[in-house]
Structure 1
Amino acid sequence: MEPWTEFEENVKPHLKHVQAYCAYLTSSKWEAEDLLQEALLRAFKYYRDTGKLLHPRSLLYKIARNLQIDAHRKRRGVTVALEEALLQPHYDPDYVSVRGMLEWLAEHLSERETEMLLLAEVFDYTYQDIADVLHCSVPAVKMVLHRSKNALRKRGRPQDNNGGAPRGKMTRRVSAPAPYAIERWTTALMTGER
């Protein structure tokens, strides 16, 4: 079997998810398509060089995210004339969805749990890195992440009617984080920088 055919068979079941992720990361349909194509190209190069593709969806997500971060960093240093800047739209539809998801997380997890979860799952920090940043032990990080993920599994997805909590059972009350924490997390997710 040719490398491209085998690669295509491994990647095909994940394309819809990766395409949605690329659309989430970018501001337009065309940018999302370009990002998807570039991610597929990079993944194929990796596959061709190593001969293996163990977790195609994770690999494509990571490649797409890194490509988008690189593109953002390149654009950040570009100076735009004031007249041109005034013509550009200032509304970012991704901001609303990211902010909404973080507010939902903050309703169900403490500020510390949310912070650890974002560092681990979004920014790919190791347990040791999280422990160093938040001044705690690695076992404490593991315990908090395990407890947080279990709590979220029990609550379900944000679009569930009752927050995923089983009927008749009490839900855990969490003190709301400071509004600046949610804004800081939103900014970090939007820019890709912790």
Structure 2
Amino acid sequence: MDRNDSFREFVAAHQQALMRTAYLLTGDAHQAEDLLQSALLKVFGRWFRLSRVEYPEAYARKVLLNQYISWRRRRVRAELPTADPPDRLYSSEDSTIVRLVMRRALMRLPPRQRAVIVLRYYEDRTERETAELLNCSVGTVKSQAHYALARLRELAPELAPKLSDLEAEEARR
């Protein structure tokens, strides 16, 4: 099996999981595709060495996160101000609306905080795994998660009960 075949197999096996992470980070399917393509291009450049490593997915995920943070640093932040915030016409039990509100609030977090929230709560990774992927200390992961959850409460107060549940679950771990 040559290098291209083994890389194709790797992509076939891990593309969906990496795409889900990219989408959660960017909040846009097209940007997620671009991010994943850019990350996979970098991974392919190192595939000769990576194909012999036990967990090349970990490297690919780290490249994806680093690429995302790099993109966010270069991108101009564009918020859409509105004079009249929307009325809350839905119950807190409507999971579709809650997901949409959460996604919109996530998009307003700084890149590092968003990455911590995605890895910790969407991908259910441990603090240590998150720290390794983001190349930071466990203490940084904890503080970034704390600040991110506080900011999410400010951005979407209706999510406070859900966020409190996440923190309670975190305390039990």
TM-score, normalising length: structure 1: 0.46
* Residue matched to 2:54: 54
Q: Secondary structure of the residue that 1:73 maps to in structure 2?
A: helix
Deviations 1:2-36 (A, max 9, x none): 31111111332111111111111112000000011
Residues 4 and 65 from structure 1, CA distance in 2 versus in 1: closer, same or farther, beyond 3 angstroms?
same
Counterpart of 1:6 in structure 2 is: 6
Q: Percent identity?
A: 23
Which residue matches 2:36? 36
- Measure the CA separation in 1 of the matches of 2:17 and 2:63: 14
List gaps (5 residues or longer) in structure 2: 86-100, 108-112, 121-125, 152-173
Write the distance in 2 (CA, Å) between the matches of 1:181 and 1:59. 22
**Scaled by the length of structure 2, what TM-score is found?**
0.51
CA distance in 1, matches of 2:31, 2:150: 21
What is the one-letter code of the residue matched to 2:68? Q
The one-letter code matched in structure 1 to 2:61 is Y
Structure with max Cα Rg: 1
Corresponding residue number in structure 2 for 1:124? 132
The amino acid of 1:36's aligned partner reads: L
Give RMSD over aligned pairs. 4.4
1:70 is displaced (CA, Å) by 0.6
Q: Does 1:93 align with 2:103?
A: yes
Residue 70 of structure 1 is matched in structure 2 by 70
The DSSP-based 3-state class of the residue aligned with 1:122 is helix
Structure 1 residues 56 and 73, CA, compared in 2 at 3 Å: closer, same or farther?
same
Shift of 1:61: 1.2
Listed as ranges, the gaps of 5+ residues in structure 1 are: 106-116, 135-179, 189-194
Give the secondary-structure state (helix, strand or coil) at the position aligned to 2:131: coil
Tell me: CA distance 1:2–1:65, structure 2 relative to 1, closer, same or farther (3 Å).
same
2 CA distance for matches of 1:16 and 1:56? Answer: 15
Contact 1:24 1:94 in 2 (8 A): no
Deviation sequence 1:124-172 (CA, Å, 0-9, x none): 28xxx55xx69xxxxxxxxxxxxxxxxxxxxxxxxxxxxxxxxxxxxxx
Once the two structures are superposed, residues 100-128 of structure 1 have per-residue CA deviations (whole angstroms, 9 ceiling, x without a partner) of: x97xx8xxxxxxxxxxx53x222328xxx
SS in 1 for 2:132: coil
- Tell me how far apart the structure 1 counterparts of residues 68 and 150 of structure 2 sit (CA, whole Å): 15
Q: Is the 8 A contact 1:47 1:53 kept in 2?
A: no
CA contact (8 A) 1:22 1:36 kept: yes
